[in-house]
Amino acid sequence: MSSTANVPEKGTPLSTPANLLTDVPLPAAAIFEAPLAHNLAWMQRFADDHGAKLAPHGKTTMAPKLFKRQIEAGAWGITLATAVQTVAAHAHGVDRVLMVNQLVGRPNMALIADAIAAGLEYYCVIDGIENVRDLGAFFAARGLTLHVLIELGIDGGRCGCRTASQVDALVAAIAEQPALALVGIEGYEGMIGGGDEVAAVRAYGERLVDTVRTLQASGLLKRQAPIVTASGSKWFDLIAEAFDLAELREHYTPVLRPGCYVVHDHKLYAGAMDQIKARDPNLEGALQPALEVFAHVQSLPEPGLAIIALGKRDIGHEPDLPLPLRLYPASATSGAASSAPVAAVDVSAWRTTHIMDQHVFLQIPENAEIAVGDVIAFGTSHPCLTFDKWRRMLLVDDTLDVRDVLETHF
């Protein structure tokens, strides 16, 4: 058997220029340029308006071209989850990474040490004494300084110190390691659930602020403007508010790090956006959904049932199954590329009832106008687990012409 590099990647055009409906073997994932550009600007302005830096969570997309857009829009850095993600981003030109996880394992430490030695400005989080000792020894042996943030967690939550005494012990342990520089406090409010979540998130934001101020007052932080950071994509407004009320902007580096905002979504975060607008009716504009997956109607085996050539390998299905948005009749998909928007039918009343590895089951009206070969655009609820299904995604304009191909590095 021979090997060849000339294999078409899933979801990429057969030729250029290309239109999504006529020149791409579906399924394919599309990001619409207009809402993408809007979201990039909107979130940067939101952070600016609250006196915070923006370090978008890059694990959402792992797409270097989107990292570049985020940084060009004003982002302070990129947040990432793992050492390999960090090195991939650095190799594509990202020079400041906030890794909001513990750095564990010698091969992972080696990757990060090499990147720091090559100029990467890097921060990771820490919540345990053993990890302090391991990192201290490893980076001392490499003759490098590792910048760390103490992670604050919540009872029953994920990582992070639960109590102030745990923080004190960790501060003392870090102080004993010359290779480690404690530069701030990190948290993730996304684990908060049950009861009055909004009040709990506000209180958590205050705890982050109080902790970083206490450490700063004690002279224990090794950075002129210590970092305090939190926020996923659901409650970023509450964290921004907590940082802003505390007037951190003068003497600290408050960092927000939502990730999903860049393409937003059609349900989970759409609902979160509604709540953010409800909390601040004066907030201008809103995030817009930018990511859709296009797939063919593959079979119409029974009245009321359409099987779509799309599956768990192509689109996220948590917390909600894929959401049908629009149908493009097959007749629109067989012609030449057009410069006018293609007429589509709203099918958002249809329902996905089941998904398998390579198939989606769609409940449709028995008299629905639909044919095998028609194309349906699907939205998602939560974008992260759609991005990682694609090595290449298509940046498209409103006419579905392909403007660029975005590589991902999962």
Distance of CA 76 to the CA centre of its chain: 16
Does 26 engage in binding with its own copies (CB under 8 A)? yes
Give residues 310-369 in contact with its own copies (rule: CB under 8 A): 312-313, 333-334, 356-359, 361
CA distance 305 to 138: 59
Count interface residues toward its own copies (CB under 8 A): 83
Give residues 46-75 in contact with its own copies (rule: CB under 8 A): 59, 64, 67-68, 71
Tell me whether residue 45 or residue 409 sits nearer to its own copies (CB atom).
409
Binding its own copies (rule: CB under 8 A), the pick from 70, 79, 102, 229 is 102
CA distance 282 to 378: 31
Stretch that binds its own copies, among 44-52, 210-218, 282-290, 301-309 (CB under 8 A): 301-309
Q: How far apart are the first and last CA of the chain?
A: 27
Binding its own copies (rule: CB under 8 A), the pick from 91, 141, 199, 345 is 91
Q: What is the SS3 assignment for 220?
A: coil
Q: How far is the CB of 284 from its own copies (least distance, A)?
A: 30
Does 304 engage in binding with its own copies (CB under 8 A)? no
Cβ contacts of residue 235 below 8 Å, gap of 6+? 189, 190, 197, 198, 201, 272
Does 271 engage in binding with its own copies (CB under 8 A)? no
Binding its own copies (rule: CB under 8 A), the pick from 54, 61, 134, 233 is 134
Does 24 engage in binding with its own copies (CB under 8 A)? yes
CA distance 323 to 398: 20
Of 371, 370, 372, 373, the closest CA to residue 350 belongs to 370
Does 156 engage in binding with its own copies (CB under 8 A)? yes
CA distance 200 to 303: 49
Stretch that binds its own copies, among 19-27, 177-185, 193-201, 275-283 (CB under 8 A): 19-27
Helix (H) or strand (E) run with residue 207 in it:
helix 197-217
Q: How far is the CB of 285 from its own copies (least distance, A)?
A: 28
